[in-house]
Structure 1
Amino acid sequence: MYLEPLPQRFPIPQIDTTARWGRRTRSLQRDPSMVALTHGLWAQWDGIIAPTDLQPWEVSALIASAVPHAAVSGLCAAAALQIPLMWGMNWVDGVLGQARTWTPWNPAPEIVVPNGHKLWRGNDVVVRKLAAHHTLQSGPWGSQVTAALPTLLALQKWQRGWRAVVAADNVLARAVDEAGQPLQLQPGDLMAQLHGIAPGTRGKALLFQALNQAAPNVWSPMETVLRLVVIELGAPPPAHNLPVVLSSGRKVYLDLAWKQRRKALEYNGKVHHLNWRQYRDEAGRLNELRDDGWDVRVVVMDDLQSRQRLMALRRWLRDLH
């Protein structure tokens, strides 16, 4: 199971230690073509990038590409694999009756290395031991990145509850095989892999809890949040992105739907009011759905943050019981 990592924004640089560059540290620091990745390890880009332009996951990937058997891990692996890191939005904790689902994290580059492996490093890079459950996949600049499941496990340290469900949904929706072909994964597929990891592994119990609430075919974090909210309000689990062929012959997808009751929820986020063309298309699509007998309710973030609007949504969901 693989996720396509973020593309590398810059060409592959030459990376080596201070000693192998054959120059003093001060000389390297004054050279605009040199970027310090960590203590004693430098990359040369011929001045096309400043050190502050690199994201932590990019620094991790560059270090991992230069250090044998090292791999990007933790939060940096999640960022490289485009797994959502849901910071903020603490109001969702209250709506779902959850507490402390987010722990502040260290944004430093992070890698894993085999036990006893030597690494040029300072306090600016987090280095952990490569564990038995750390399966790896290819990443940017020829690096290795911890694969989806071990990355989800690591995320439980910082993101639990609904945030972990968002990450799991994302992995299920975006998983591909080694040839890059989509995998139709179900939560049980990830659970089966998780069962194979040693008992007592940090994050395992929490990830099981998240997978029990995960769902396939979820295309955005807010679709996950909306599903969890409507289930908390008493509705049965909906289908995600249900394909529906309208009487006009047009095929559309409903964010959350209960097919037998012909009821659906559509979440409208920022893109819907920033993109005028998409807004007009959405309006026409909703009209066609309603003309075909679908009861479609549009939800925006304010509907989930307001107690009064939540109660209105609960009333709309009543006949689904």
Structure 2
Amino acid sequence: MRTGGNQLRVTGLNALELLDLPIGETQSWVNPLLGHRAPERGLEFETAKLTPHLSWHGTRIRTFAGQLRITKSRGLNRYYGPWGCFVAHPVEALVVAAPCLSMWRLIACIDALLSRRIVVDEEVPLQEFTADVIDDALDLFPPSSPSVRRVRAALRAAYDQVWSPNETLTRLIALRHGLPPPRTNYHVIPRGRHFYIDLAWPDSMTAIEYNGEVHYTKRSHYEDENYRIQLLRESGWDVHVLVWRDLWDPERRRTWLDFLARKLGPPTGTI
């Protein structure tokens, strides 16, 4: 991955996968529901994931390899990755990948950067990413670049303390329907037990819990989750539990949005 003055690194979607950021497909109903435009090269997403994408910094390289993308790096930090490779800085990788990613996926990736320490290889965490750190990294890119503008827009919509992309999507749906901003992974201590509520509106003791696959495929998670929700309800929280179908099915989605509207007051705007 290094020849003379060249410094090669994995970038784009390949790097985001190695960084364990939540890229992925976007179902056809998501962009219209959120009012987002489809990404410029969204139809190329699967092909781009399967095409090795490297960036170079230093002396320009020549390559005769087919089925390989080489682009110029902005010179941000690179990190040791698996199998002896280097991985591009996550902000650089996001800018490179932005044309293939929907806006909500970009927001979910930045939520993850703000909310957890990223580990590339050998259990060594990267620096802590704050909104200022990400913003400073974006300053190194051309401000008029459409990809840079999209990543900046995603940064403005991102939250910290978000631990799954479906929590991001649930929050975005609620906000799109004019509901007040929630607190994310809000810390509560019912009966001396420490819990975190996925989306919370503390003033009205209203909560949304999103249960993903792990909550119903592992018995211990299922049992712990039921106990946790019962304690929350006994301590005064009105908890509505969601699964994936509650996001995409219009009738079921309306049920929990109506629940939030009753608890939080009329939406400020609806779609």
Pick the structure with more helix per residue: 2
- State which of 34, 43, 55 in structure 2 corresponds to 1:103: 43
Indicate conservation of the 8 Å contact 2:7/2:58, yes or no: no
**How do residues 44-123 of structure 1 correspond to structure 2 at under 5 angstroms?**
64=1, 68-101=6-39, 102-105=42-45, 106=48, 107-114=50-57, 117-123=60-66
1:284 to 209, 227, 243: 227
Q: Is the counterpart of residue 222 in structure 1 residue 140 in structure 2?
A: no
- 168-177 or 214-223: which moved more? 168-177
The answer to whether 1:139 aligns with 2:81 is yes
Structure 1 position 269 matched with structure 2 position 209: no
- For structure 2, list consecutive stretches of 5 or more residues without a partner in the other structure: 266-271
Q: 1:145-168 CA deviation, whole Å, 9 max, x = no partner?
A: 111111111121111311111111
Residue number in structure 2 paired with 1:257: 200
Residue 103 of structure 1 aligns to a residue whose secondary structure is helix
Runs (5+) with no aligned partner, structure 1: 1-63
CA contact 1:85–1:167 (8 Å) conserved in 2: yes
1:173 counterpart = 2:115:
yes
Provide the rounded CA distance (Å) in 2 between the counterparts of 1:265 and 1:312.
12
SS of residue matched to 2:43: coil
**Share of identical aligned residues, percent?**
29
Pairing of 1:204-223 with structure 2 (within 5 A): 204-223=148-167
Count of residue pairs brought into register by the alignment:
255
Secondary structure of 1:210's aligned partner: helix
Corresponding position of 1:306: 249
The one of the two structures with greater contact order (alpha-carbon pairs below 8 A, sep at least 6) is 2
Distance 1:186 1:236, change over 3 A: farther
After TM superposition, the runs of 4+ consecutive aligned structure 1 residues lying more than 4 A away are 65-68
Aligned to 2:139: 195
Q: Root-mean-square deviation (CA), in Å?
A: 2.4
Counterparts of 1:236 and 1:113, CA distance in 2: 44
Task: Give, in whole Å, the separation in 2 of the partners of 1:198 and 1:229.
Answer: 31
Q: Does structure 1 conserve the Cα–Cα contact (< 8 Å) formed by 2:232 and 2:239?
A: yes
1:202 Cα deviation from its structure 2 partner: 4.9
Q: Calculate the TM-score normalised by the size of structure 2.
A: 0.85
Q: How high is the TM-score relative to the length of structure 1? A: 0.72
